[in-house]
Structure 1
Amino acid sequence: MRPMNRIVSVLIILGCAWSAIAATGSVPSRIEIKYRVSLGSMKIGEGSDVFQQDGKSYSVVSESKTAGLAAVVYQLNIRREAKGSVTANGLRPTSFVELRNGQMKRGANFDWSTSQVQLTDGETKQTVALPPNTWDSTSFAWNFVFVPPEGKDINLHLTDGRRVTEYRYSILGHEKLQTPLGEMDTLHVKKVQEEGDKRAFDVWLAVERHYLPVRIRYTEKDGTAFDSLAETINLTP
């Protein structure tokens, strides 16, 4: 994979994962998080998420873009918008769209009454089965706000508008982590790599900061690692 294509792919993947925070107690009505994406010591991207909820419905706006030298070579802005309802069992998505440089790229419309989801990938549209534990790639981790992670494994289905895929994540335990916001007690969560899956994905959730994902690491099959670190967090009660 060419270096710039690799950076674009990583921004897309990290953008999906940036949308995540878990909390105990009352859920803030608005949460804004800003991130820095790095390859080694070089900054290659920026991300920001805004999550809002009123106890009945929610919305997420997630944006990521190239920065620094990467932006000089190729300017890319990815915007994702997700909406849904807040239920007794957590978040239930109803719609998801992804835009790249202002142009519609992918989307999903969830019909829970018929257990079907309509997927849009460019000009291609299809309707497929909708398993009960399915989220769009922008909403899923925000579900931890209402259903904190428990046990050793997390099983779920995700869609980015192309397909619905099943994933399994393993909770590895607590780790002390140095971040731009200071040292934090974090919970390390890692994607379980099935046979043939050579790309790793790790996230560290800040235990004393509502389980906010303060570090996200995506590792390519050749070992190249991209890191995303939270730089600012703003909560509105």
Structure 2
Amino acid sequence: MLKPISICVIILALSASYQTSFAQGSEIATRQAYKLPPGAELQYSIKAKQSGLPLSGSASVKWHVADQKYSIVTETHAMLVGKILDASSHGSIDEYGLAPDKFVEKRFRKPATTTSFERDSKTLRFSASTETYVLKGGEQDRTSASWQLIAIARAAGEAFKAGSEWKMLVAGRRDADPWTFKVLGSENIKTPMGDMVAIHVSKAPPADSKDQQLDLWLAPSLEWYPVRLKFSDADGDFVDQVLESIKK
């Protein structure tokens, strides 16, 4: 799954990182129109390769939005292994869209980590590191980022076209990075619910990075929900999710 990213361990490096983080936040914190999709529970089948071993299983995503609050709860199960990922994002809705308060992730055989968006002090903190970032507005976590993108796509209309790019600062377990989603174009996706036309969007890591690549296929005919998601690691491991059902 997602790979840890190294952090600075000396005072001067931490100071430089903090200043860089502030600059990144300033660059990416631009307000964009958004339109949140209605709440739903999505069920996926998964095929994966982890540590070189083929796996299959299921995943669920519970997306809830009401009263200027949102929550996203995801669970991924693999046959013979059990739950391999449990993640949640909770927060409010502001002028930028989703405004996370807390992101919690629990991976297979690893302790849970918490990423906190402290709105009062405008500080982003991590239980797994001493890294901090200044909150400028619009920052996401690795669970909320896809749903923020969906909300942007629903509002963008014809501007959400092949070649367009959509940026945000995204926090993980230990630090945050600028993400760029690029729209690649329309594709036909086969699902248990039938064939669907979906917009393929890719978040590729920088050329010199071993971070994970994320590909999403968003279906305009289904409120822009993701009908397929694929997480690919530099070592060849991957998790590929295809939508099986939606409950609204």
TM-score of the aligned structures, taking structure 2 as reference length: 0.72
Instruction: List aligned pairs for 1:130-145, cutoff 5 A.
Output: 130-145=135-150
Q: Distance in 1 between matches of 2:222 and 2:97?
A: 19
Q: Are 1:218 and 2:231 counterparts?
A: yes
Q: Distance in 1 between matches of 2:227 and 2:3?
A: 16
Q: Distance in 1 between matches of 2:85 and 2:232?
A: 20
1:186-215 per-residue CA deviation (whole Å, 9 max, x = no partner) reads 101012342224654321111111111111
Match of 1:109 in 2: 116
Q: Which amino acid aligns with 2:221?
A: E
1:10–1:226 CA contact under 8 A, matched in 2: no
Residues 108, 226 of structure 1: alpha-carbon distance in 2 compared, 3 angstrom cutoff: closer
Report the CA distance between 1:49 and its aligned residue: 1.1
Match of 1:52 in 2: 64
Q: Are 1:169 and 2:174 counterparts?
A: no
1:217–1:225 CA contact under 8 A, matched in 2: yes
Q: Distance in 2 between matches of 1:232 and 1:82?
A: 22
By percentage of residues, which structure has more strand? 1
Q: Distance in 2 between matches of 1:55 and 1:146?
A: 17
1:138-173 per-residue CA deviation (whole Å, 9 max, x = no partner) reads 112222454325350011111122111111111011
Q: Which amino acid aligns with 1:207?
A: P
Q: Distance in 1 between matches of 2:198 and 2:55?
A: 23
Report the CA distance between 1:114 and its aligned residue: 3.2
Residues 209, 162 of structure 1: alpha-carbon distance in 2 compared, 3 angstrom cutoff: same
2:78 to 54, 62, 66: 66
Aligned structure 1 segments of 4 or more residues deviating by more than 6 angstroms: none
Q: Unmatched 5+ residue regions in structure 1?
A: 1-8, 13-23
Q: Distance in 2 between matches of 1:217 and 1:173?
A: 16
Q: What value does the CA root-mean-square deviation take over the aligned residues?
A: 2.9
1:120–1:126 CA contact under 8 A, matched in 2: no
2:190 to 175, 178, 183: 178
Instruction: List aligned pairs for 1:6-21, cutoff 5 A.
Output: 9=1
Match of 1:84 in 2: 91
Q: Unmatched 5+ residue regions in structure 2?
A: 5-33
Residue identity (%): 24
Match of 2:202 in 1: 190
Report the CA distance between 1:230 and its aligned residue: 0.8
Match of 1:31 in 2: 40
1:11–1:64 CA contact under 8 A, matched in 2: no
1:84-104 per-residue CA deviation (whole Å, 9 max, x = no partner) reads 112243111111112346975
Report the CA distance between 1:31 and its aligned residue: 0.9
Residues 100, 180 of structure 1: alpha-carbon distance in 2 compared, 3 angstrom cutoff: same
1:65-93 per-residue CA deviation (whole Å, 9 max, x = no partner) reads 222xxx2xx44442212111122431111
Q: Distance in 2 between matches of 1:126 and 1:197?
A: 19
Q: Secondary structure at the match of 2:98?
A: strand
Q: Distance in 2 between matches of 1:137 and 1:10?
A: 10
Q: Secondary structure at the match of 2:221?
A: coil
Q: Secondary structure at the match of 1:208?
A: helix
Q: How many residues align?
A: 207
Match of 1:5 in 2: none
Q: Secondary structure at the match of 1:147?
A: helix
Match of 1:17 in 2: none
TM-score of the aligned structures, taking structure 1 as reference length: 0.75
